[in-house]
Amino acid sequence: MNKIICTQTDFDCGLSEILLWIKNNKRTYNGVYGIPRGGIALALYLSHGLNIPMLAGGITENSLVVDDIADSGNAIRPYLERSKCDVITLYRSKHCQLNPTFWVFDTDKWVVFPWEQHIIQWKEDFLDD
């Protein structure tokens, strides 16, 4: 499987691009919701960077919804279609059927994020016998 490693530096650069897009487009949000599991880390950083709460529910059109990657588009579809809120991802798969409101990187590879790198090694060391 072709994969790329998203380093912490890549993540930080992507986060800066997202914050710049939000500022340049004069967006304001009542909170940020991270789609479990991959969106939670991005939501935490954006919550601090934008000084807004993390949401556990109650998403409205004034909420920001984030995920690490829009792969097929299925995870972001309900938020774009029903909630009509901004959905932002770090990565968008080139075969994604639905575009987020904004994304930073395009890819056609499997992305391994900083918070997954150690887990992959732990699985290999302890779980794959």
**Confidence tier at 129 by pLDDT (50, 70, 90):** low
pLDDT at 116: 83
For domain 3-127, which architecture applies? 3-Layer(aba) Sandwich (3.40)
What are the tens digits of pLDDT across the range 58-104? 899 999 999 999 999 999 999 999 888 999 999 999 999 999 999 99
Can you give the three-state secondary structure of the chain, one letter per residue? CCEEECCHHHHHHHHHHHHHHHHHCCCCCCCEEECCCCHHHHHHHHHHHHCCCECCCCCCCCCEEEEEEECCCCCCHHHHHHHCCEEEEEEEECCCCCCCCEEEEEECCEEECHHHHHHHHHHHHHHCC
pLDDT digits (tens, 9 = 90+) for 4-59: 999 999 999 999 999 999 999 999 999 999 999 899 999 999 999 999 999 998 89
pLDDT on residue 122 = 63
Q: How many CB atoms lie within 10 A of CB 106?
A: 10
pLDDT at 1 (0 to 100): 65
Q: How far apart are CA 64 and CA 60, in angstroms?
A: 9
pLDDT at position 127: 65
Distance of CA 16 to the CA centre of its chain: 13
Q: State how far Cα 119 lies from the chain centre.
A: 18
